[in-house]
Structure 1
Amino acid sequence: MAKLKIVHLLHSIGGVDVYLRLILENMNIDSFENIVIHGTKDTIKPFFDKNGNKVKEYRVSIFRDISIVDDIKSLFQTYKILKKEKPNVIHAHSAKGGIVGRITGRLLGIRVIYTPHAFSYLSTQNILKRSFFLSIEKFLANGNSLLLATSRSEKKRATEEVGYKPENAIVFNNCIEPITKIHPLTIPKTWPDEYICTVGRPSYQKNIEQMIRVMHEVNKENKIHLVIMGVGPVSGQLKSVKSLIQELDMSNDVTLLDWTERTDVFNIISHSKFYLSTSRYEGMPYAVIESLALSKACVVTNCDGNKDLIIDNHNGFVVGNEDINGFKCRILKLLDDKELLDKFSKNAFHLYAEKHNIKKNISELESIYLK
């Protein structure tokens, strides 16, 4: 039987890049052929299949920011590649990949699976921008595309706000491989042994300023260090975060770490007391899944993705998005109550093992592609 050919189209950075690599490295290569079309200025690391062989890839002018010239150019480039490769399915990831994939898919009569990884209109407070991004999503919904949400809450948003028909929206939960070994750090350890942590670039989405304010209140009653990982080159609000740390006199209470190896992230999470997220929106965050896999309780905001992974008072706490006092009280509770923290930590791993192990779940995604 001929292999099903799938073209993945994306701007390959952050969680989207992690998502794709996990899929490629776990799919059955006897039944599927994968090809990647991604940006000229995103990842420089090659993609590999289950057997460690390089996956064919093309680079086109897909970038994070809107550019009429580059966006039109990427449409023509992608159209040409798709016409040559003749895939059975296009799997379009995130906003840019979703737009280019669904337009070229319609033109060529190729079915498209679209995974938003958190809808783009959630990324701004500007009413006009939000309305514009949402109108694009609504215009391209349904048609030749199936929405493959990363969480139940993302599917709910797709059907209730974007306009996807329920039969055109399904869920494949973000999954990771079991973390069986903790490697030594490849970076100097400059923070205390007692700490809690988060992964997230200073941005509107991750709302790190809120986390700093929360920890300022926590430290008035119980001193605990905060390690923030993922402070990379696309951290638009880094200056604001640093300014707030100085303003609140928290320089000795917070460590900001640049992008580092995932093994370092796992090491830091594994040795932390628990994990925090103050995100305003998510698809389904890998850092929270990784925390569950490492048996770490989490205190998170009540946003898409977070609320799918954390069951309040079971494997952590879910708190209102702007509820600083609620966050403070629950963090202090876990710092003071070791028995409760141990219970949450055990439940965290159980939920990961049951729902988010890609080794167990990859066949579900393969069935979706085949259908």
Structure 2
Amino acid sequence: MKKIKVAHILNSVGGVDVSLRLILENIDSSKFDSIVIHGINDTKSLFFDDKGNIVKDYKLPIKRNISLINDFKAIFKALKIIKIEQPDIIHAHSAKGGIISKVITSFLKIPVLHTPQAYSFLSTNNIFKRKIFLGIEKLFVGPNNKILASSASEQNRAINEVGYPKQRALLFNNSINPINKVKELSIEKSWPENYICSVGRPSYQKNIELMLDVLFEIKKTINNIHLVLMGVGYHSPNLKSVKNKINDSGLKENVTLLKWTSRDDIFNIIKNSKLYLTTARYEGLPYSVIESLALGKAIVATDADGNRDLVKDGFNGYLIFNEDVKEIANSVVKIVKSKSLNQKFSENSLELFKQKFDITKNITLLENIYINNIKR
């Protein structure tokens, strides 16, 4: 049987990079031949398949922000690569990968599956910019592409706001490998034994300022509460305001900011925390929360796209509407102070992971989606 060739196009950073690597390392390479087309300045690490072999990759001048010159160069170069490689299907990841791939398919008629990993029009509260970003997404709803949403929330956005017909809005939940063993920390532990944690770069999306307001409120009840915030190094536009808020709120002794640490360290920090907290405004399907499920942690989260697909209120944590600072704080306090409640939520998180977000079980769903959407 001839292998199905899949071309992945993306700016390989953050959760998008994690998503691609998990797919490549789990998909059956005896049936699927993968290539990666990504940014010049994104990842420096090689890509590997399920057998540990290096996956062929090409580089484009893809940048996070809109740049007409670079974007046209990227489209032109990607078009040349696709003509040479002749894949059966293109899997586009993130907004920029989606646009490049959808332009290409208008010329070559190769089927495209686009995984937004959180729509770009959600990334601003500026109404004008939001309309422009949404307008771009609507412009590229073409006959040769489908949405392959990373969560049910994202699938609903594709149908109800972008305008994809239901039959062209598919779903493959972001998924990870089970975390069977947690390694020792490779960095010095500079925070107290009892802490809560989160992963999120200071940005509009992650809304760390709200998290600090919550921490300030918690401190009224639990004076020694401590937050370990990971991932504040890469592309953190709000870092200065976050640091100022920490100082102005008197939280300097209650917060540890980690610029960068390995995924093994992140697993260790999540595993040994009291709970996981996220105050994000929107997500695709956040890997740090999926990891928290796999590590059996109680979770307190804002009711945002992605979060609501992973946290069932009263089952494995609490889902809070309207960014209510006091309600989020009270939920954290309730879990921290009750061992039995924390244990119940922890067990339910792990069960939910096993049911829905284990990639070793879910990868066949993606393989079937690829098979069912190639031209025959």
- Separation in 1, partners of 2:134, 2:295: 36
CA RMSD of aligned residues (A): 0.7
1:233 CA drift (Å): 3.1
- Separation in 2, partners of 1:158, 1:63: 24
- Separation in 1, partners of 2:57, 2:214: 43
Q: Please name the residue that 2:362 is paired with.
A: 361
Please state if 1:217 is matched with 2:213: no
Whether the aligned pair in 2 keeps the contact of 1:142 and 1:165 (CA below 8 Å) is: no
1:87 CA drift (Å): 0.5
Matches within 5 A, 1:17-32: 17-32=17-32
* Counterpart code for 1:359: T
- Separation in 1, partners of 2:142, 2:357: 27
- Separation in 2, partners of 1:99, 1:16: 15
Q: Please name the residue that 2:311 is paired with.
A: 310
Of the structure 1 ranges 330-339 and 247-256, higher mean CA displacement relative to structure 2 is found in 330-339
Whether the aligned pair in 2 keeps the contact of 1:204 and 1:237 (CA below 8 Å) is: yes
Whether the aligned pair in 2 keeps the contact of 1:303 and 1:321 (CA below 8 Å) is: no
Whether the aligned pair in 1 keeps the contact of 2:102 and 2:142 (CA below 8 Å) is: no
Of the structure 1 ranges 88-97 and 138-147, higher mean CA displacement relative to structure 2 is found in 138-147
Q: Deviations over 1:131-180 (max 9, x none)?
A: 11100100112421010001111101110000000000011111000101
Matches within 5 A, 1:75-154: 75-154=75-154
Whether the aligned pair in 1 keeps the contact of 2:9 and 2:36 (CA below 8 Å) is: yes
1:217 CA drift (Å): 0.5
- Separation in 2, partners of 1:182, 1:233: 24
**SS of match in other structure, 2:252:** coil
Q: Please name the residue that 1:65 is paired with.
A: 65
1:125 CA drift (Å): 1.1
* Counterpart code for 1:329: N
- Separation in 1, partners of 2:19, 2:7: 14
* Counterpart code for 2:14: G
Matches within 5 A, 1:206-355: 206-223=206-223, 224-355=225-356
Of the structure 1 ranges 110-119 and 181-190, higher mean CA displacement relative to structure 2 is found in 181-190
Q: Deviations over 1:281-328 (max 9, x none)?
A: 000000000000000010001011100110000000000242101101
- Separation in 2, partners of 1:133, 1:321: 24
1:336 CA drift (Å): 1.6
% same residue: 53
Q: Deviations over 1:98-156 (max 9, x none)?
A: 00001101211100000000000000111111111100100112421010001111101
- Separation in 2, partners of 1:177, 1:322: 31
- Separation in 2, partners of 1:259, 1:147: 32
> Could you tell me the TM-score, scaled by structure 1's length?
0.99
Q: 1:232 to 1:321 in 2, by over 3 A?
A: farther
Q: 1:29 to 1:137 in 2, by over 3 A?
A: same
- Separation in 2, partners of 1:310, 1:253: 26
- Separation in 2, partners of 1:346, 1:108: 49
**SS of match in other structure, 1:342:** helix
**SS of match in other structure, 1:364:** helix
Q: Please name the residue that 2:193 is paired with.
A: 193
Matches within 5 A, 1:144-183: 144-183=144-183
Q: Please name the residue that 1:47 is paired with.
A: 47
- Separation in 2, partners of 1:210, 1:321: 11
* Counterpart code for 2:313: D
1:202 CA drift (Å): 0.3
**SS of match in other structure, 1:348:** helix
Q: Deviations over 1:260-298 (max 9, x none)?
A: 110000000000010000000000000000000000010
1:15 CA drift (Å): 0.4
Of the structure 1 ranges 237-246 and 179-188, higher mean CA displacement relative to structure 2 is found in 179-188
- Separation in 2, partners of 1:127, 1:143: 28
Q: Please name the residue that 1:38 is paired with.
A: 38
Whether the aligned pair in 2 keeps the contact of 1:280 and 1:321 (CA below 8 Å) is: no
1:203 CA drift (Å): 0.4
Note the residue ranges of structure 1 that are not aligned, 5 or more in a row.
Answer: none
- Separation in 2, partners of 1:72, 1:175: 33
- Separation in 2, partners of 1:57, 1:105: 20
- Separation in 2, partners of 1:157, 1:75: 26
- Separation in 2, partners of 1:259, 1:207: 19
**SS of match in other structure, 2:253:** coil
> Could you tell me the TM-score, scaled by structure 2's length?
0.98
- Separation in 2, partners of 1:182, 1:337: 25
**SS of match in other structure, 1:252:** helix
- Separation in 1, partners of 2:98, 2:254: 41
Whether the aligned pair in 1 keeps the contact of 2:275 and 2:336 (CA below 8 Å) is: no
**SS of match in other structure, 1:280:** coil
Whether the aligned pair in 2 keeps the contact of 1:298 and 1:316 (CA below 8 Å) is: yes
**SS of match in other structure, 1:6:** strand
